[in-house]
Structure 1
Amino acid sequence: MSPISIVVITLNEEKRIGRLLEDLSKQSHQNFEVIVVDSNSDDNTCEVAQGFDKALPALTVHKMEGRGTSLGRNTGTKLASHERLLFLDADVRLEPTFLTNALHQLEKRKLEVAGVYMSAEELSLGYRLGYGLFNAGLYATSFFFPTAVGACLFSTKRAHEEINGFDEEIVLCEDCDYVRRASETWRYRMLPVSFWFDPRRLEQDGFFKMGLTYLKANVRRFFFGEMRNNEMNYEFGHYKDADNKC
């Protein structure tokens, strides 16, 4: 299987970045590099990440002066050595066979850009039902108006450069905009694999409130185009730890 560059964006994730990097160190497919792009964190995120330099020999930790999801992913792509890309958020968790299974599907289906489903295996019934509906929406829209979860998204340097990367003016649904533009040139599909991520996002925003926010955002995008002026007032990195909600 082809090598892959894994770009992980972080902002004050010292409590979570280690778990993801440990997951990556245990992958059955080991032909990859990891590029941690930090948005000038106030905590020890970079130090914790750098501590994995022995477990992950091909590890780069890059601290930016600015902040931003799209800025971080674009910066990581510029530092990437390999053609195949995987964008991850710091609170993602992966099974040991994730890369092997995903790369097999990408090569088998000849996909440049592809999304990944969210797993709710360890969550309550309510969350599982909600995730099921969300995943169904990801699958359905992939055929006509692609949406995606940027926390776990595959691409290539060729596709990334062709569409000029992530739009740094977009704060909400920048991942959906990315795959929509990519789908105008390449076939976009969801892979039959899944990832798990920390449910604090849902717990802090509220499950239904967050779902409604993204539903409204994508309906608005469908009819009026992308939101480049933060029309829905979404703040990057607003999630806090349960014991530190200031």
Structure 2
Amino acid sequence: MITSPKVSVVVPAYNVRSYISEALVSLERQSYQEFEVLIVDDGSTDDTAELVKPFCRRDSRFQLLQKSNGGLSSARNYGIRHARASYIALLDADDVYKPNKLANHVAVLDREPEVGVVYSASQAIRDDGSPTIMRLSGKPVMSDPLLALLCKNFIGHGSNGVFRSCLVDEVGEFDEGLRSSEDIDFWLRIAATGRWRFYREPKVLCCYRVRPSGLSFNITQMQHSHEQVLKSAYERSPELVEKVLPTAYAYMYRYLARLSLTAGDAAKAVHLINQALAANSSIFYRDPRSLLTLVAVRLAPLAKLVIKRSLGSVEYRANN
């Protein structure tokens, strides 16, 4: 075990037997080695813990912490409370770090004391680990990070940010009452202090696994949690947040409409895109991605009808 690690990597894990080894191997292969890994088994009912134990036996930097199930935020907080380092990295157990992830971000935090959070571009991967065409670019913050985060999560996902541990003392832990969007809530609280910069590394240093059965596809839950996040942000900084709140809601509904479409629920996608239009229709002519989502959602019911009729025609010809 390293006496004074520079980075504590917190890995929350719940029933991830298919992915946990790949995540931990990606940490073993880091070019930067002054770290500890805190794997928090959040009451798994599969053999996740048994798969972690060999890593702990061969490398004392890896520690298995076990607790009763409390959800993602609870597991992250449990790991953070056991962390000994100045910097904290989060890695969800189904995601993967590129070999230079920690080296790059530690160098930035060491060099630039005004930076509180470092993040990078990410590559989306499929369930089997193969890359998709989707890349989360992590666009640089050109304006106030608080206002930018309210509309779009430029960090991308919960495994991407590496931050100073002192920020937890400053803004509090992850909100255990949220079942989704808890990472956005945490970044928003850091941004609201006005004291810390968010630094973006344009290289792809992280892989984010897209799993249709994962938490991100519980759309109703996501909507409820994100609405709570926006409400909390408004209560903290009403005068600042008020002017972008309609746009923030529009982007939220647009994102959820896209997820609904991906999940095959065209009716819900239409409902959500209508809510986005009602909140702030201007995003659809200012943002090409928003316009593309609108067109895709509007065409989805028609495409479904055409396919249904085509299949019906095929069936008729087959039976006659």
With the length of structure 2 as denominator, give the TM-score of the two structures: 0.59
Find the partner of 2:168 among 160, 163, 184. 160
Name the structure 1 match of 2:301.
Answer: none
Name the structure 2 match of 1:196.
Answer: 207
Find the partner of 1:113 among 117, 130, 134. 117
Name the structure 1 match of 2:232.
Answer: 225
Residues 87 and 163, structure 2, Cα contact 8 Å, conserved in 1: yes
Residues 38 and 61, structure 1, Cα contact 8 Å, conserved in 2: yes
SS of the equivalent of 1:115 reads: strand
- Aligned residue runs from structure 1 range 1-246, under 5 A: 3-110=6-113, 111-120=115-124, 123-125=131-133, 127-128=134-135, 131-132=136-137, 135-136=138-139, 139=141, 143-145=145-147, 146=149, 147=153, 148=155, 149-185=157-193, 186-192=195-201, 193=203, 194-200=205-211, 203-204=212-213, 221-222=229-230, 224-225=231-232
Amino acid at match of 2:190: A
Corresponding pairs, count: 217
Supply the distance in 1 between the matched residues of 2:179 and 2:74 (Cα, whole angstroms): 11
Supply the distance in 1 between the matched residues of 2:222 and 2:168 (Cα, whole angstroms): 24
Q: Unaligned regions of 5+ residues in structure 2, if any?
A: 234-252, 254-320
If each structure's helix is expressed as a fraction of its own residues, which one has the higher value? 2
Residues 92 and 159, structure 2, Cα contact 8 Å, conserved in 1: yes
Residues 182 and 188, structure 1, Cα contact 8 Å, conserved in 2: no
Give the CA deviation at 1:179. 1.0
Residues 179 and 188, structure 1, Cα contact 8 Å, conserved in 2: no
Supply the distance in 1 between the matched residues of 2:221 and 2:121 (Cα, whole angstroms): 19
Give the CA deviation at 1:144. 3.1
RMSD between aligned residues: 3.3
Supply the distance in 2 between the matched residues of 1:218 and 1:141 (Cα, whole angstroms): 22
Supply the distance in 1 between the matched residues of 2:220 and 2:107 (Cα, whole angstroms): 34
Give the CA deviation at 1:80. 0.9
Greater relative CO (CA pairs within 8 A, separation 6+):
1
